[in-house]
Amino acid sequence: MIGVKEVEEPKKQVPLVGTLKAMITVGKHLFQKPVTVQYPEERPRIPDRFRFRISLSLDDCVGCTLCEQVCPNLSIHMNKVERENQRNKRKIYPDVNFGTCTVCRNCEEICPTDAIYLTHEFETARTRNSFTYSPEELSMPEEEVIK
Ligand code: SF4
Ligand code: SF4
């Protein structure tokens, strides 16, 4: 009939071929090192260019608010922190909400004093508090932050 395509019959496979192929694949992988790691007991290798958790040097922050202005996700807000710092007369420092931060690095790049920077740390999951790290928490090593 015109306009009707003939349906091709599916190729018949010898039943053992598939099984043999699978066995060869399994055999190949039996002697290879697994690509998975037993996290958290085993730490994964972190690539050099990996960046996540933001840190803040309270002594170096001059409270210019540039990091807050440049953040595309409004993840940074300035907070009043009562501490002695001759370089930060207004006593304002950034916090960071890691729930919305997309690790774009704008804040690090614009900071005139290198006070805010991204690190290799990635274990920022919290059980009780919000995802927002206060300026003081940003200045602590991750293991000291109360989660
Ligand atoms: S890395 Fe980007 S998204 Fe995250 S706080 Fe800095 S400017 Fe905002
Ligand atoms: S962290 Fe840097 S950019 Fe942000 S307020 Fe402090 S000095 Fe300014």
CATH number of residue 120's parent domain = 3.30.70.3270
Within-domain flag for 8: no
Reported pTM: 0.77
Residue 48 CA to ligand 1 center (angstroms) comes to: 19
**Paired strand residues for 117:** 55
Where does residue 77 rank: exposed (0-12), middle (13-18), buried (19+ CB within 10 A)? middle
How far is C-alpha 106 from the chain's CA centre? Answer: 15
Q: Give pLDDT tens digits for 56-111.
A: 999 999 999 999 999 999 999 999 999 999 999 999 999 999 989 999 999 999 99
Q: Give pLDDT tens digits for 22-41.
A: 999 999 888 888 888 899 89
Range of the domain at 68: 54-144
Strand pairing category for 92-97 and 132-133: antiparallel
Residue 98 CA to ligand 2 center (angstroms) comes to: 17
Within-domain flag for 90: yes
Q: What is the pLDDT of residue 124?
A: 84
Within-domain flag for 49: no
Side-chain-facing half-sphere of 42: CA atoms under 13 Å: 6
Identify the residue with better confidence: 71 or 144. 71
Strand pairing category for 132-133 and 76-80: unpaired
101 Cβ below 6 A of ligand 1: yes
When divided into structural domains, the chain yields a total of 1
Q: Give pLDDT tens digits for 101-126.
A: 999 999 999 999 999 999 999 888 88
Within-domain flag for 39: no
| Mutation pick for ligand 1 pocket among 76, 93, 137 (CB with most ligand atoms within 8 Å) | 76
Within-domain flag for 65: yes
- Distance between CA atoms of residues 12 and 3, nearest Å: 27
